[in-house]
Structure 1
Amino acid sequence: MEIIKMTKEHYSDVYELWLSCKGMGLNNLDDSEQGINRFLERNPDTCFAAFEDNKVVGVIMAGSDGRRGYIYHTAVNPQYRKRGIATALVDAAMDAMKNIGINKVALVVFRHNESGNEFWEKLGFTERHDLVYRNKAINEMIRNDT
């Protein structure tokens, strides 16, 4: 397995990977090629793809606002799970965050994504009970919760 920085050239393979993973929440705006390219332009050193046999088998997108780090859309092809790929991707993203001066990283996982929640808890990411997550769409988007 090889882990490299994710680039816009990886988009189609990464999007196909996301669609293969149950529990992913995608939408037609933020997760479009244009939306992901915009994210990668802002965060060129904190997003990674894992390759095996010249195939994208895992991905993690991470970014920061300069104060806090955030992890998005972490996924591993179901056929390649339980091999340490996700942990290696998280390690790469966390190291990258530390290198740019980020001290704390947060993420959001759907409550119904049991395997995702188990994974993050195993890595030491704790659940916050003192927050209420809120959002408001500025533009209408179509959600695709696989």
Structure 2
Amino acid sequence: MKDLRIRAATADDLDAVLAFWKAAAEGTSISDDRDGVERLVARDPQALLLAEDAGDLVGTVIAGFDGWRCHLYRLAVRPDRRRQGIGSALLAAAEERFARLGGRRADAMVLTDNERAHHAWRAAGYAPEEQWRRWVKPLV
């Protein structure tokens, strides 16, 4: 992994990111489309972090900060590259970003049925908060 590079996505990366999520992310979101990701990158150009190894996209995470809370979305690693430290490198980069911005606590959106992800998040030091139940309403 000496060639692993973490960088912010640009508009030129968005089609590749969307295709990557279809192959590497568990489940989809209503905002997993070009317009949604373009808005993200336009609003916060440093939020969508990409992991590349020798120029190949091998992982992503969205590290969103609204000025008050830090939110993690779309942590995904290419299936054939899992358990090689890519997810950990992405989370470290996201947490460094949050610290620079003054964030004090991060939360992660994790699908209830994605047991593999639950193990990965626990290994990274995150824990479910059972007293909080997220309520969601699609706006479109």
The verdict on a shared fold, with TM-score over 0.5 as the criterion, is yes
Q: Output one character per residue of 1:97-145: Cα deviation in whole Å (capped at 9) or x when no partner.
A: 1101111111121111011111001111110111121011221xxxxxx
Distance 1:112 1:97 in 2: 27
Distance 1:132 1:115 in 2: 20
Residue 2 (str. 1) matches residue 9 (str. 2): no
% identity of equivalent residues: 26
Partner of 1:72: 73
Q: How does 1:21-60 map to 2 (within 5 A)?
A: 21=24, 23-27=26-30, 30-60=31-61
- Judge which range, 92-101 or 15-24, deviates more: 15-24
Distance 1:93 1:77 in 2: 18
Partner of 1:144: none
Distance 1:56 1:46 in 2: 16
Partner of 1:107: 108
Unpaired runs of 5+ residues, structure 1, are 140-146
Unpaired runs of 5+ residues, structure 2, are none
Q: Output one character per residue of 1:42-67: Cα deviation in whole Å (capped at 9) or x when no partner.
A: 22223210112321111111111100
Distance 2:64 2:113 in 1: 24
The amino acid of 1:62's aligned partner reads: A
TM-score (norm 2): 0.91
SS at match of 1:82: coil
Residue 20 (str. 1) matches residue 23 (str. 2): yes
The amino acid of 1:20's aligned partner reads: A
Distance 1:138 1:58 in 2: 28
Cα offset, 1:12, TM superposition: 1.4
Q: Output one character per residue of 1:7-33: Cα deviation in whole Å (capped at 9) or x when no partner.
A: 221111111111112523222xx1211
CA contact (8 A) 1:46 1:97 kept: no
Cα offset, 1:75, TM superposition: 0.4
Q: Which aligned segments of 4 or more residues in structure 1 are displaced greater than 2 angstroms? A: 24-27
Distance 2:52 2:25 in 1: 20
CA contact (8 A) 1:43 1:62 kept: no
